[in-house]
Amino acid sequence: MAGRFLSIFLLMIHMLLLSSSQAAAKEFHVGGKDGWVLKPSEDYKHWAQRNRFQVNDTLYFKYKKGIDWVLVVNKEDYDLCNTSNPIKKMDGGNSFFNLEKSGLYFFISGNIDHCKNGQKLVVLVMAMKHTAHAPPSEAPEIQYVGFTGPTPSPFEASGSVKFGGSVGVGLGVWIGVVMSVINFI
C-alpha cells in the first residue's frame, strides 16, 4: 500500500514539474544594475537586443521617484518623444510592466529631455511556444501593443521566475487526485 502511494506521489511530482516548466516567466531589470537612467553603462537598444522576451515576462524599471518616470507609448510617440499621450504612465520609482502579448512595446522617459537624449526602449516580445506543430504559414505581421491590464505585484525578487495560472490549476487537480486515491486505499 505504501509502495502504491509512493508511486502515485512521484508520478504527480513529475507531472507538476513538466507543467510548470512550460509556464515559467522571467523578470528583466531594464538597464541592468544601473536601472532606468539617462546614461546607463549599456545602452537600452543593446540591452534589449541581447535579451529574449516572451509573453508573460515582466520588465522591472528602477528609477528615482519624482525625478523620472516611464511611459508606455505608441511608435509615433516613441519616435517623436511625445510625452503628452501615454498608453500607461509609471511614476512610482520602482515599476513593473507585464508583457501580455507578442509584438513591439515602446517605452520612453517621462522627462522629454531624457527621452531626446536616448532614454527610451523598444522591446520585441516573442509569441508563446506551443508544443503542437502547426503547418508553416506566412510570417505574422508585427503588432504594436499597448497596456491592457494591471501592473504585477512589486514583490518578486531580482531574477525571479514566476509561474502562470496553469500550474495552480494543475496542482489543484493533482492534489484532488491524491486525496481521492488516499481515500480509496
pLDDT at 24: 82
- Work out the average pLDDT over 58-86: 97
- Work out the average pLDDT over 82-95: 96
- Closest by CA to 115, choosing from 181, 71, 159, is 71
- Closest by CA to 87, choosing from 103, 65, 63, is 103
User: What is the pLDDT confidence band of residue 5, given thresholds at 50, 70 and 90?
Assistant: low
Q: How far is CA 111 from CA 23, 40, 46, 78, 105, in A?
A: 36, 16, 21, 13, 19
Q: Can you identify the CATH homologous superfamily of domain 25-163?
A: Cupredoxins -  blue copper proteins (2.60.40.420)
- Work out the average pLDDT over 10-17: 48
Mean pLDDT, the chain, integer? 76
- Whole-model pTM: value is 0.61
pLDDT at 149: 47
- Write the pLDDT tens digit of every residue in 149-173: 444 444 333 344 444 555 554 545 5
pLDDT at 11: 45
